Structure 1
Amino acid sequence: MKKKLKKILKKKLRKKLKKIRKHLCPKPPPPSVIAQFLYVSNYSANRVDIFDIFNNPTNPVRVGQFNGGNLHGAAGMAITDTTLYVANQSSNTVAIYDITNPIAPVHVGQFNSGNLSGPTGIAITGTTLYVSNQSSNTAAIYDITNPRAPVHVGQFNSGNLHGPCAMAITGTTLYITNVVSDTVAIYNITNPIAPVHVGQFNGANLVGPDGVAITGTTLYVANQNNSTAAIYDITNPNAPVHVRQFNGNLDTPATMAIAGTTLYVANEAGTVAIYDITNPINPVPVRVFGAGEFNLPYGLVVYTVFG
């Protein structure tokens, strides 16, 4: 009887202590979004345009642009913390910008090290940066522990890259679009500096696949050659299942970017298409913008500022 009573008292005491700890050490509130921007690279104009999408993601407001003579065939982009990388396809370099002030990026360097050949897409996981080399059918790997001084640590292909363009990462899976072979290559990046090829997909649904973007378990691939986008279920990241295609406002689509429930698709014809993806497998065309402003828009990246 005494043992049973002790057990009950201990249980009650644990519950009380838990409540006290919760009261004394409450969980900090999640960081709130205080600003959000969309960067659009213009390949032919050698510049990047900046749009404010915080108040209304479907109505981007132009707030600036930059080049500074450091962009040459501006293509794919990626961001880590307050550092922006822009692939210069024409000069075989990647430009580095400090975006502490998001509307006034400051050029802080560039890199190549003889490892870039037609750099097109960029993707980041932790302190590892990947750059797709469209001209050499490879992808270069860099250590960006120091974001402003990337260190080349390797490259990969294994005969699975054919005109590699955009890249997207979910968990430990890396997807790379192959615009020449109409496929998307899949790599396991559990070890980020030693990607392992685990497969590829097409299913006759890809025609000049260029851009790629992910939200949850849904993957989008932009088909440059037939102006459509394919939707895949990647519940199993290594075995994407084709769900459907969509078009509506696509005209030679290149890269893609996502901000919450808004999908942006750069149309090389000179615009950016906006879709509502509240239902990820049923994108709803909202509008296109930038007609007359862009000059072969190619890269897209969203920068979210937390406060």
Structure 2
Amino acid sequence: MSLPNIPNITPTISVTVEQTIPLLLSSIALEELALAHIINAEAEKLQFVLGTLPTGTALSPAVVSLAELFAVDSSVQRTLRDVIKKEMLLEFKFENVLDLIGTLPPVVSTFLFVSNRDDNMVAIFDISTPLSPLLIRKFGTGDFPGSLNGPTGLAITGNTLYVANQFDNTVAIFDILHPTDPIHVGQVSTGLSEPIGFAITGNILYIANQGDASGVAIYDISAPTDPIFVSKFTGEEFPGALNSPTGLAITGNTLYVSNQLDDIVAIFDISAPIDPIHVDNFGTDDLSGPTGLVITGTTLSVANFNDSTIEVYDITIPTDPIRVADFDTEDLSGPQGLVIYPADPVTPPLLYVANFNDSTVEVYDINNYPVDPIRIRDFGTGVLNGSFGLAIYPTGPV
């Protein structure tokens, strides 16, 4: 006798555990719906023989004997016993799905903080579904008197949020361990004059100051909620390098400082973080009122406030940026803060741009960046007022 010939079946299963769970729950729901129909049919069977079902159809014979009623009742009981058996199996199946859910990592939401300079508020959006931002709340002086006054730049390290207050020369500090319920924990003012932008490297916080000698303050944030002023460097020390500094960005040992009034970005070597060295400037022919800066890989993006564009530079050699593109004169209006949503294996990286004049945030798909950024949408109309700074929490991969 020959052996059976079994074909080689090697299907590729591409369904993830996260995708499997809703499929299993849907199958349970559909089976429960089917059982509900069966139970309803059995109930109508009893109503029919008892003459209480309004069908308009007469019984034949017109009179049902007691024995016949018992027979129908027995039939219903047998069917319901089978339904009960199936319900028990569905309960086991549901418990197994619950166990499967328990093996998944906890869901971590991602939040975008947006400062509103013109109404002294910071808005919080849930961007866990990046293309569908959901407003969670706004907080400001009504919640924390004296904390916000012309909020501009934002920065986050760990569970601490810094908010630059342009109008009262302070930086407000918030604990955002519970990001939808921030707690005001402090305020600093030393060395600040119209603070407007931040950059963080290690335990050093740099703060751009637009007013009073146009400088950058340096704070030690080893204790994030208790920053210590270290020093300040200004345009007096580095003539031609600092004039109304606004945005800051860091890659390695290089600090970039945008200068809104000089239409340049200055480059500083911060190998010694508290003793920066001016290296060069760039952008004279490309920039007009540069504000926000953001870096992804070897690409530096600069918000061009006056021209309502984003200028893009290749910084493979950090001290020798090369302009590669600009984009979007139609949808931007006074761009300020920039932030990039961290990429993951499924979601393409997204660039968020605070649109100050329109009080919105623009979203771009930059999967092929710096080539061919694709505008996705804007949001914040009716919620934002002078959208300025952007920061994402948590700051690492989610």
Same fold (TM over 0.5): yes
Pair member with larger Rg: 2
Other-structure match for 2:138: 65
> Which of 114, 117, 122 is residue 198 of structure 2 equivalent to?
122
Q: Deviations over 1:26-66 (max 9, x none)?
A: xxxxx998221100000011010000111x21221111121
Q: Secondary structure at the match of 1:35?
A: coil
Other-structure match for 1:298: 388
The one-letter code of the counterpart of 1:231 is: V
Other-structure match for 2:76: none
Separation of aligned partners in 1, 2:390 and 2:308: 17
Say if 1:33 and 1:304, in contact at 8 Å, map to a contact too: no
> Which of 202, 209, 212 is residue 290 of structure 2 equivalent to?
209
RMSD between superposed Cα atoms in Å = 1.5
Bigger fraction of residues in helix: 2
Q: Deviations over 1:106-129 (max 9, x none)?
A: 00001012x110000011111000
> Which of 351, 359, 364 is residue 263 of structure 1 equivalent to?
351
Q: Secondary structure at the match of 2:119?
A: coil
> Which of 247, 250, 255 is residue 174 of structure 1 equivalent to?
255
- 2:207 is equivalent to residue 131 of structure 1: yes
Other-structure match for 1:47: 121
Other-structure match for 1:286: 376
Q: Deviations over 1:265-303 (max 9, x none)?
A: 001121110000101112111111111211101011111
Say if 1:163 and 1:178, in contact at 8 Å, map to a contact too: yes
The one-letter code of the counterpart of 1:263 is: L
Other-structure match for 1:254: 336
Say if 2:158 and 2:394, in contact at 8 Å, map to a contact too: no
Other-structure match for 1:3: none
Separation of aligned partners in 1, 2:226 and 2:112: 25
Other-structure match for 1:20: none
- Structure 1: which 5+ residue stretches go unaligned? 1-30
Say if 1:58 and 1:262, in contact at 8 Å, map to a contact too: no
Separation of aligned partners in 1, 2:252 and 2:109: 26
TM-score when scaled to structure 1?
0.87
Q: Secondary structure at the match of 1:44?
A: helix
Other-structure match for 1:38: 112
Separation of aligned partners in 2, 1:156 and 1:82: 28
Other-structure match for 2:67: none
Bigger fraction of residues in strand: 1
The one-letter code of the counterpart of 2:139 is: F
Q: Secondary structure at the match of 1:185?
A: strand
Say if 2:170 and 2:195, in contact at 8 Å, map to a contact too: yes
Say if 1:249 and 1:287, in contact at 8 Å, map to a contact too: no
Q: Deviations over 1:241-287 (max 9, x none)?
A: 00011014211111111112100000112111000010111211111
Relative distance call for 1:226 and 1:32 in structure 2 (3 A) is farther
Separation of aligned partners in 1, 2:394 and 2:318: 26
Q: Secondary structure at the match of 1:34?
A: coil
Instruction: Give the superposition deviation at 1:203.
Output: 4.6
Q: Secondary structure at the match of 2:275?
A: coil
Identity %: 48
Separation of aligned partners in 2, 1:83 and 1:294: 22
Say if 1:66 and 1:104, in contact at 8 Å, map to a contact too: no
The one-letter code of the counterpart of 1:297 is: S
Separation of aligned partners in 1, 2:274 and 2:109: 33
Other-structure match for 2:246: 165
Q: How many residues align?
A: 275
Separation of aligned partners in 2, 1:33 and 1:191: 39
TM-score when scaled to structure 2?
0.67
Name segments (4+ residues, structure 1) moved above 4 Å: none
- Structure 2: which 5+ residue stretches go unaligned? 1-104, 343-348
